[in-house]
Structure 1
């Protein structure tokens, strides 16, 4: 079609990728702006009356693990977790950093507020970010998040394995997102530590497993 018919199109050839569906843009005010600027609420929690709240960040294909974690947190632990799609940590960081630079150079004027801070204003934490990149990527925007941020990433040496095994190895899959959320809530005295200890067993997580960042 491109060569014979001269059509102006793109073809993407992928090998060993998962056949994952591409979800449509969710309805709601500000979604389009959020997609372009780097952050939007992808799927609010179905537990509107939950006393325990958390926010889950995902990017790209790991979003499916984040959605699994959201379901486990709601059904097993009664935690209302909203899922957010981070389309660009770099974009969020650059815009926030630009705001801080402007504020520095314009003392006495009304400070500019970064988009990420505006978007998350009044949103109850903790915040758990799962990424197929290194932990430092979500951590780059931590200071503009109104609450505790727990970053899960693939720090360490490369491995040749399927995606599920790699995410388990690097501790960024659904069960580790659930554990990170429970632990963050426990550190804020919202969940008993015994609940977290039991979750380690229920989720079949090996607490003595070597740190993937150095193993």
Structure 2
């Protein structure tokens, strides 16, 4: 089993990360990221770190196209659009400081991601903007990408839904890598859809790095209730589904943002392993269980990747659990549509005897989901 080891961060990296975090924690930065997409948040972060004279020499912000690097001149007064990976040529030189790294790329393949991470050698924050382009693949990456990302504990994937989530994950990643000295490759998938979901509360969004946090609580009511989980652009469809459930079926919804199903599953397995080895000690509770509790309300977890990504957390929740993804309903290469989420929700509630059984057939017919 991989152990999350700590290695003392170099003094130069700690000083640089502290300076970056001070800038990225400013209220005006949070406000700027509040109403933008994950990709838009990166552009804000990049601009801030590059324009500050006291910081720009203390951080590597690399922007690269798949398979190549560009050193195009920048017109006066304009933000640089790309940077070469030249800093990596010096990483084996002991006289050169190891600085915080933010690496933007557009890659739909494992080969492209592996090349970037090998280039960086000892970790960093990698942001993949492949999703801003049209593609035949779910989330604009080949199906083996999420499997590869999940195949090593040193690769920690996130699928933020909003600009503020992106900022929160980047800040937490900097603390982990350069203050706590816990090397890893932190991966974020970036989309450019500002309307995918409502902006998260600034008081809660710091929990994004842990893998999930609640965005909206169900109204206190005697009506049937469901727990809906979503990540990335799929979270927008989850909110749409919740509105339809309330309007058409009088079903209330708790809504959770889950930027990292993989991280939640790893945390669950780590807790189970620790509990096995320490039976006389106080039991560790996985973050997903701490969030969802022990209630029997059904849970629908939605992702824009294949449903296997969301299914990872199923063994750590005691209630009826259904995972949905790009392969959940025929003919969809993107996130499951809100109407499909509604129909699956109705069936889960019916299977638990919480709504009439015929509602499932009525929902499929109402939203034209039957063949």
Measured against the shorter chain, the TM-score band is 0.7 to 0.9
Matched, 1:63 2:235: yes
- Preserved CA contact (<8 Å) 1:50 1:80: no
Q: Shift in Å at residue 8 of structure 1?
A: 7.8
SS of residue paired to 2:200? coil
Q: What is the alpha-carbon distance in structure 1 between the residues aligned to residue 199 and residue 247 of structure 2?
A: 25
* Cα offset, 1:27, TM superposition: 4.9
Task: Pick 1 or 2: higher relative contact order, CA cutoff 8 A, min separation 6.
Answer: 1
Q: Which residue of 2 aligns with 1:192?
A: 356
Residue 293 (structure 2) pairs with residue 121 (structure 1): yes
Alignment match, 1:179: 343
Residue 103 (structure 1) shift: 0.9
Change (3 A) 1:8 1:101: farther
The aligned length equals 195
- State whether structure 2 residue 227 is matched by structure 1 residue 52: no
SS of 1:185's equivalent? helix
Q: What's the Cα RMSD here? A: 2.9
**Pairing 1:35–2:35 present:** no
Distance 1:124 1:27 in 2: 29
Q: Per the alignment, in what secondary structure is the counterpart of residue 60 of structure 1?
A: coil
Query: Given that residues 301 and 323 in structure 2 are in contact (C-alpha distance below 8 angstroms), is that contact kept between their aligned partners in structure 1?
Result: yes
Closer/same/farther in 2, CA of residues 78 and 27 from structure 1, 3 Å limit: farther
Q: Per the alignment, in what secondary structure is the counterpart of residue 205 of structure 1?
A: coil
Look up the match of 2:249. 77
Q: Which of 123, 135, 138 is residue 310 of structure 2 equivalent to?
A: 138
Q: How many angstroms does 1:78 deviate by?
A: 0.5
Matches of 2:202 and 2:369, distance apart in 1? 37
Q: Distance in 2 between matches of 1:33 and 1:144?
A: 22
Distance 2:193 2:301 in 1: 24
Q: Which of 88, 108, 111 is equivalent to 2:260?
A: 88
Q: Determine the C-alpha separation between the residues in 2 that align with 1:25 and 1:142.
A: 24
SS of residue paired to 2:293: coil
Structure 2 unpaired stretches of 5+ = 1-46, 51-72, 83-103, 105-128, 135-190
CA distance in 2 between counterparts of 1:18 and 1:95 reads 29
Query: Within 2, Cα distance between the matches of 1:106 and 1:145?
Result: 22
Matching residue of 1:162? none
1:106 CA drift (Å): 1.1
> Is the alpha carbon distance of 1:122 and 1:76 closer, same or farther for their aligned partners in structure 2, counting shifts above 3 Å?
same
Partner Cα separation in structure 2 for residue 132 and residue 152 of structure 1? 8
Displacement of 1:48 in angstroms is 2.8
2:226–2:251 CA contact under 8 A, matched in 1: yes
